[in-house]
Chains A and B, each alone.
Chain A
Amino acid sequence: MEHTIVGYFLQFEIMKNLVEMASSTLGFNASSIIAFIIFLTASLILLLIAATIGGLGTFAERKISADMQMRPGPNRVGPYGIVQMVADFIKLFLKEDIVPVNADRFLFYIAPILAIVGVLGTFAVLPISSGLIISDLNVALFYAVGISSLVGLGIFLGGYASNSKWSMLGGMRGAAQIVSYEIPVILSMFTVILFAGGLSFGAILENQSGGPIGWYLFHNPFTFIAFFVYFIGILAETNRAPFDLPESESELVSGYNTEFTGMRYAFFALAEYMEVFVVAAFASALFLGGYKIPFNIGGDSLIGQVLQAGMFFTKVALIYYVVIWIRWTLPRMRVDNLMTLCWKYLTPIAFFNLIGSAVWIYYFGNKSMWNLIFS
């Protein structure tokens, strides 16, 4: 309980008094019910935030791409066109829900739900600040990688159920790509886990500090390489360009989501944008110090939490910008090049990193290269 959002709230006197008051009025120990209510409200708020993030992702994508192509982009609905995402959502919500006649109805219904459940499941371990984490599981990274593989399953089943050649090809490409690129991504995570000594985000962020010197990115040469391997891997796992083969417009119309309309399409689109957010958050927590602020200003108080959340969202937004930037600058890769890159380059490099980190720990312990240089 101590590593959850309930644990954070229960350390305040007001909450303790509230629990006591509820217990005395209800006549039994109300701490579990209060804990349940806190969990429920936090999850609902996070769900709303997640949906907003997905919407903001689509808006950012359109606006940044417009900026790079010297167009104004969406600018009619609201200031700078920011209400455009609400308009888009209403349009998708009101659209007719069409299921192709020859489609597999059951799989067609279940595929978008699987995709979005997989992404929302990872939000449970998202380290927004030291207190605002729904549950800092001991196996947080393991759990996140496991539950997010439902997205790959959703994409694959969506492609299969549509009974269309384009969707089928897109779904197969998506599944193959996600399963392959999981390996370098997990190995790069392990490089950091070796130094952190734990799979929970609390353990990973404990040894990092606010300044860039304390980040795992600049801890030693191996983690520095691991960050780039991880970054390329997450681009492929979230089907972003230059790895957007599952939905490549020029060959497959729209890939696995060609036949989906209305809310079902919106689920796939939201899942993609939220997944980019989640993997960017993991990148920031693993390599860039996550929510840590320099000199720990604010500490554990509520102001400190707000500052930490601001730090977290700033870092994630920067990574998100780079992801979109890459999408609108690089051309798409070919399928065989994609697999060659994964199996012949990224995976051996990731293994090399892992062994190198183990050797580093054997000789220097947990010291960073700055410790070795300046002492």
Chain B
Amino acid sequence: MFLQVVFILSALLTVVSAVMVVFTRHIMYAAVYLLGSLIGVAGLYLTLGADTLAATQLLVYVGGILIIMIFAIMLTGGQDFMKNSRKSFLQVPFMGNVKTYVFGGLAALVMGSIGTKLIMNVADRFSEHSEMLSYQSTIEVIGEALVTDHVLVFEISSVLLLGALIGAATIARPIKKQ
């Protein structure tokens, strides 16, 4: 019962904020609505019993990426550029013709049916033990798996992050006067 309530609330938060992100005309508001969507996704992770993932979602997306996004929005343009006027949006000509729309519709149909098939499996499995009585911690399991079975992936991703860090430092370095 409690899980269902949490699930419905987080799902609503996620979907409604995601729709607002798309339909708002102010890019700064879009970033704030994105905050709601990200928190909703963290709630969805919680209902699935993935506590580590939920906390990481909060830490990485809300604490890091969203602030960086807002910084980027603010540093790249003034307030006038941020508003997307509806008139210009409607003036964009429709792309494609009848043939592409037919193919696009068919592709969407196939993708949708595959998606529902996948979701049906998950839903069946979830309804078998819909109430998770023993709430197990995942952080020990994830930590152990990262340094035993998946140690290669772990190391490679750390090298990638180191490369990104050095790249960022190189870009941000002040240009020396010759």
CA distance A334 to B74 in the complex (A): 23
- The answer on a CB contact under 8 Å between A179 and B67 is yes
Please classify the interface of chain B as helix (H, G, I), strand (E, B), loop, or mixed, using the class held by over half of its residues. helix
Query: What CA separation (Å) do A32 and B1 show in the bound complex?
Result: 9
Measured in the bound complex, the distance between the Cα atoms of B58 and A373 in whole Å is 42
- Report whether A149 and B55 are in contact in the complex, using a CB–CB cutoff of 8 Å: no
Map CB proximity to B onto A240-266 as digits: 1 under 8 Å, 0 otherwise. 000000000000000000000000000
Which of B28-36, B120-128, B154-162 is near enough to bind chain A? B28-36
A145 touches B71 (CB 8 A): no
A185 to B55 CA separation, bound complex (whole angstroms) = 17
Known contacts A143-B58, A156-B70, A157-B32, A138 near B64 by CB under 8 Å: no
Residues of B within 8 A of A298 (CB): none
Q: Does B84 contact A (CB under 8 A)?
A: no
B52: which of A107, A110, A139, A150 is its contact (CB, 8 Å)? Answer: A139
> What is the interface of chain A mostly: helix, strand, loop, or mixed?
helix
Are A142 and B71 interface neighbours, CB within 8 A? Answer: no
At the interface, yes or no: A56 with Cβ under 8 Å from chain B? no
Contacts of A104 in B (CB 8 A): 28
Q: Counting CB contacts under 8 A, is B62 at the interface?
A: yes
Contact A199 B32 (CB under 8 A): no
Chain A 144-177: CB-based contact to B (< 8 A → 1; otherwise 0): 0111011011001100100000000000100100
Alpha-carbon separation in the docked complex, A47 to B64 (Å): 27
Q: Tell whether, in the assembled complex, residue A137 and residue B63 are in contact, meaning their CB atoms are under 8 Å apart.
A: no
Task: Tell me if B137 is interfacial: C-beta within 8 Å of chain A.
Answer: yes
Decide: A138 and B137 in contact? CB cutoff 8 A: yes
- Which B residues, 135 to 160, have Cβ-Cβ distances below 8 Å to chain A? 135, 137-139
Q: Could you say which residues of chain A place their CB within 8 Å of the CB of B52?
A: 138-139, 142
Choice from B2, B66, B74 contacting A32 with Cβ under 8 Å: B2
A200-231: which have CB < 8 Å to B? none
Beyond the given pairs A147-B62, A152-B63, 15 more chain A to chain B contacts, judged by CB atoms under 8 angstroms and listed by A's residue number, are A107-B28, A110-B32, A138-B137, A139-B139, A142-B58, A143-B55, A146-B57, A146-B59, A149-B58, A149-B67, A152-B67, A153-B62, A160-B70, A175-B71, A179-B63
**Chain A contacts to B: CB under 8 angstroms:** 1, 32, 36, 104, 106-107, 110, 137-139, 142-143, 145-147, 149-150, 152-153, 156-157, 160, 172, 175, 179, 182, 199
A-B CB contact pairs (8 Å), 16 listed: A32-B1, A138-B51, A138-B138, A139-B51, A139-B55, A146-B62, A147-B58, A149-B58, A149-B59, A149-B64, A149-B67, A150-B62, A156-B67, A157-B70, A160-B28, A175-B70
